[in-house]
Amino acid sequence: MSGSVGRPVSRVDGRAKVTGAARYAAEFAPADVLHVALVGSTVPKGRIAAFDTRAAQKAEGVRAVITHLNAPRLPYRPFEERPEVDPSVGEPLRVLQGPEIHFSGQPIAAVVADTLAQARHAAALVRVTYDAQVATTTFDGERGRAPKAEGGETRRGAAVQALGKAPVTVDAVYVHPREHHNAMEPHATVALWEDGHLTLWDKTQWVNNDAAEIAHVFGIPEDHVRVICPYVGGAFGSALRTWPHVTIAALAARLVGQPVRLELTRRELYTSVGFRPHTEQRVALGARRDGRLTALIHEATAQTSAYEEHTEETLAPARVTYACPNVLTRYRLVEMDVNTPTSMRAPGVATGLFALECAMDELAVALDMDPLELRLANYAERNEEDDLPWSSKELRACYRMAAERFGWSRRAPAPRSMRDGAWLVGYGMASAVYPAYRSEACASATVFADGTALVRSAASDMGPGTYTAMTQVAADALELPLDRVRFELGDTALPRAPVHGGSITMASVGTAVQAACEAVRAKLGAGRSYPDALREHGVDHMEATAEVEPGDESKKFSSWAFGALFAEVRVDADLGMVRVARIVGAYDVGRVINPTTARSQCLGGMVGGLGMALLEQADWDPRFGRVMNANFAEYLVPVNADVRTLEVLFVPGDDRRFNPLGAKGLAEIGLCGVAPAIANAVYHATGRRIRTLPITLEALLA
């Protein structure tokens, strides 16, 4: 056995990335490639009355100016069932197909030119006259309605009545702002038509869905579309859907008869792809004086677009994290004239945990009880929502391990009681949960006479280390050294894979990889080297393909990842500046395939949670229906100076009830619980409870 799984292996694709050999979507350059620039709407709602494209058409290098007036009508063939990454209610934006304006920044024209500079210059010359209409650009929770896709409400027991009888209660509203993904790599698509077949080099987290979506838009067979994406420079959910710019690239390439490249600008990322929606939440908790919960009410109202219904699992943590006999959750949507929100790392769950875990901290204060002890007193021994046992759960061990490492026992209970010179010191903690998902997946494995192996699946790698982890799984299953195995991904020509999101890749694709490798070994027989076995079969290679799918485990067990986060903050007593001195997180994620890449995922989640707590928000101007800080200069994200000591601990685990590999998924849980741990630490340091993110010095000094 190679024993690769469980080892802290360096990234097998690391050299390609640091030397520039790794090619991202915008770096693919077919011969004679042209460039596309977009023209966006400057009003949030209305109709286009007229275009003046004369100056743009006369500009140097321009090959075409495309609007709804001259664009071909596209079939937009409907799906029998919308892809899981798309909202199930509503219709996607039918780009360049009509004069209707749904949001500010909506792509309404495209310019094709010889160079990118020429295309963008000409796009700036396009003049548009609008019949503007009154737009809904202000979030008003009173207008919230239940989702059409589902009832939006769950009940267990009688929460309202139990809250009224509870001796100790907390009832508060928490606000989570609109946030944007801001991955390092902007979205880009290169499109090439050849004999009725389309090749797309696209930044995407799901090549198979890209092919399916574009095939439906253009009314062509899915096997006529090939999508290639070997590397993704970060996405965090922004590349789950097939956004309108992909359609525009394909449309432009067909119209001009040459390949084209469309790269979104940093500003266009705030309107051309989705975002984490603005969400307002009410959490009401009732408890006995010993801390046991008797009532839990969690209500969330989130924004969506007027043309699609984006919903999230914001209330899932309230239903499963703690033991409570009486639970009511209610989800509402507010339609606005904005582009459709989308999944952003730990979608919904991270948002819901911010409110739930801050409310639990407030309850601990009301009870004069240690926040950790309160959570232990309400430990859920099973999933009370589904009435199922956990497939595995080591959250108690997470609490213990992280608390010991952090030094939680040194925490003085009273707010503003800990100080270091001019700095107020605060300790805060929070629980983390995220559901473990698994999906159908396919992989192939080929062994060669030289003793090497090639393993393939149309999976994705946006940074968590898919190349490396899959190579480790394959090496162990084939009993080969790691350097004798190569893994390929990111191409619809490879065996189908599910979406690279929701932390499902290892449980799904990893299981398929293991199965394919075991299948090819079975073909060759045991007890001989691969070269000897192949010679005996009279071939120079042998291949096997495996398709795997979930069984009935979800009917028997509830599978979740768990974690415990502890944060130390320093707050300047006079200026209100907040610095996060330390974060310690302990995680139960089942079997850890690669401790190095797993730790990296959690570190990234901690940094993202720091940004969520203290920095990130879209500055929204309702007059224009636009994000005003749509750039890296003014949309604040953590930088090196903001990040101090981060520690990641893993509780030993192996959840074979969930899947044959025993891994539960990791990327999403890394973000969960970080923001509320920091917010609770800020309260402990200052005595000020800030319920609206981000926590700014203005809020602390108000």
The Cα-based distances of 248 to 254, 389, 441 in angstroms read 10, 48, 30
Q: Kind of pairing, strands 441-448 and 107-113?
A: unpaired
Q: Which residues does 491 contact at the CB level (< 8 Å), separation at least 6? A: 207, 226, 227, 228, 229, 230, 458
Instruction: Count CA atoms within 13 Å of residue 153 on its CB side.
Output: 6
Which one from 179, 308, 384, 668 is the annotated catalytic residue? 668
What is the C-alpha separation between 210 and 83, in angstroms, rounded? Answer: 10
What is the C-alpha separation between 432 and 563, in angstroms, rounded? Answer: 5
Residue 302's closest CA among 600, 459, 529, 87?
Answer: 87
Alpha-helical regions (H) of 570-660: 595-614
Residue with tokens 């006079």: 574
Instruction: Count CA atoms within 13 Å of residue 99 on its CB side.
Output: 13
Residue with tokens 């700036």: 124
Q: Which residues does 554 contact at the CB level (< 8 Å), separation at least 6? A: none
Is 668 annotated in the active site?
yes
Distance of CA 80 to the CA centre of its chain: 25
Residues in the chain, total: 702
> What strands, in cross-sheet order, belong to the sheet with 327-336?
153-156, 327-336, 293-305, 279-287, 168-176
Burial of 361 (0-12, 13-18, 19+ CB in 10 A): buried
What is the C-alpha separation between 87 and 659, in angstroms, rounded? Answer: 28
What is the C-alpha separation between 143 and 117, in angstroms, rounded? Answer: 44
Residue 374's closest CA among 321, 312, 445, 417?
Answer: 321
Residue with tokens 């162990």: 476
What is the C-alpha separation between 265 and 275, in angstroms, rounded? Answer: 16
The count of other CB atoms within 10 Å of the CB of residue 443 is 34
Catalytic residue numbers? 668
